[in-house]
Amino acid sequence: MKDLPPFAQHFILHWGEMGTKWGINRTVAQIHALLFISDRPLHAEEICDQLGVARSNVSNSLKELQNWGIVKVVHLPADRRDHFESIQDVYELFRVIAAERKKREIDPTLARLRDCANEAGTTDNPADTHAKEKLESLLSFFELVSDFYTKMDRLPTKSAIQAIRMGDKIAKSIGALMK
Amino acid sequence: MKDLPPFAQHFILHWGEMGTKWGINRTVAQIHALLFISDRPLHAEEICDQLGVARSNVSNSLKELQNWGIVKVVHLPADRRDHFESIQDVYELFRVIAAERKKREIDPTLARLRDCANEAGTTDNPADTHAKEKLESLLSFFELVSDFYTKMDRLPTKSAIQAIRMGDKIAKSIGALMK
DNA sequence: CGAATATTTCTGTCTTTACAGAAATATAGA
DNA sequence: TCTATATTTCTGTAAAGACAGAAATATTCG
């Protein structure tokens, strides 16, 4: 990591730690951090050198980032090597990440909760009835969150930012809006 | 898990898997799932029996859940054993989880990003300037998210639900609200 | 086609995390 | 205080994940 200024190193290391806390491989997160702050696409070898990790690790991690849809391959003139760049707009970045997590985790959970609720069906056992109701409340919640995400995802970046920024005013206006 | 109806078993197992994808220990997530759907507080031994995990594992996991603030100890009359119950309201549950993640992860990241931005200070290297700007845009984003969370957290459950539910209408009203 | 270079896949090792069982400690009533 | 019971901490093992280096494969240019 010798070539990077200290502040960049600190950021990349912290981002790696953050990743692990959210179920993302440390190296994957570090590579993404590096690409995010880079002012040009990097090839795999450069990433190895900067982060001091094995070539194979970089290869697999880059594939993972491409699967997430937040890193793309680009080619530079007169250079046959793949170069990689991250989504640069931070709002777009998190929108894509959120979309992917929804697809991978929220949607399957919704499906599973629906299955469980159906399985529960009619039961006379009071404990089971209670469990079924808890599952249904969880399901409602996930449906709500899922719908909200879909609505926000359709907004252009600027509107989305404003929607977030207006959070408190919006809350106060709920009554009026509902009429 | 013999005593539990199949739908409850399926839910608990799925919840455990979900946990691992979000950086939460499988057993911790399973125990929470069990407590969430239970219609009464359970003691540690019951949790062992139901999930088939070691007593020590249950002990540590329960402590973890208490640290998160989503499980509380209660005592029943004429029973000296600790009994455990989860927050039952699903919105409250996720509110508490979000608050804890903010405290543990978002706030430290904000602090770190500010440090990095300061460290970056004045630099004449164009690549470093670019990196610094990327860090600052990330910082703005996290500040926005953090503020939004604080606003939502202060809303009573009902208003928060409505705010989420009204997402699309709110978006359309942003222009009007801003005047 | 063949050589050089780039990339991916495979294999084994190392590290970390999860976890069971035992031991130690604490607590409450007799 | 002593005994029974509940709880936590400790220790070793097992499983999972991360990762390096080597091998295999693919690509491009001469």
Taking only the tens place, the pLDDT of each residue in A80-93 is: 899 999 999 999 99
Give the H/E segment covering residue B79: none
CB-CB neighbors (< 8 A) of A165 in chain B: 144, 147-148
Residue B93's alpha-carbon distances to A108, B24, B33, B106, B155, in angstroms, are 20, 15, 12, 18, 14
Give me the pLDDT at residue A175, please.
52
User: What is chain A's mean pLDDT, rounded?
Assistant: 89
Give me the pLDDT at residue B172, please.
65
Nearest residue to B136 (alpha-carbon basis) of A107, A90, A150, A176:
A90
For nucleotide D18, give the residue with the nearest CA to its C1'.
Answer: A25
Question: A7 vs B91: CB contact, 8 Å cut-off?
Answer: no
Would you say B157 and B91 are in contact if contact means Cβ atoms under 8 Å apart?
yes
Beta bridge partners of A84: A42, A73
CB proximity A124 to B under 8 Å: no
3-class SS at B81?
Answer: coil
Give me the pLDDT at residue A78, please.
83
Residue A109's alpha-carbon distances to A4, A53, A104, A115, B18, in angstroms, are 41, 35, 9, 10, 8
* Nearest nucleotide (C1') to alpha carbon of A73: C7
Nearest residue to B68 (alpha-carbon basis) of B110, B120, B109, B103:
B103
Min CA distance, A123 vs chain B (Å)?
A: 10
What domains are there in chain B, each with its CATH number? 6-86 (1.10.10.10), 90-178 (no CATH)
Chain A residue with minimal CA distance to B167?
A148
Would you say B32 and B84 are in contact if contact means Cβ atoms under 8 Å apart?
no
User: What is chain B's mean pLDDT, rounded?
Assistant: 89
CB proximity B132 to A under 8 Å: yes
**Regions of chain B short of the pLDDT cut 70:** 1-2, 168, 170-179
**Would you place residue A1 in the very low, low, confident or very high pLDDT band (cuts 50, 70, 90)?**
low
Q: What type of residue is B38?
A: S
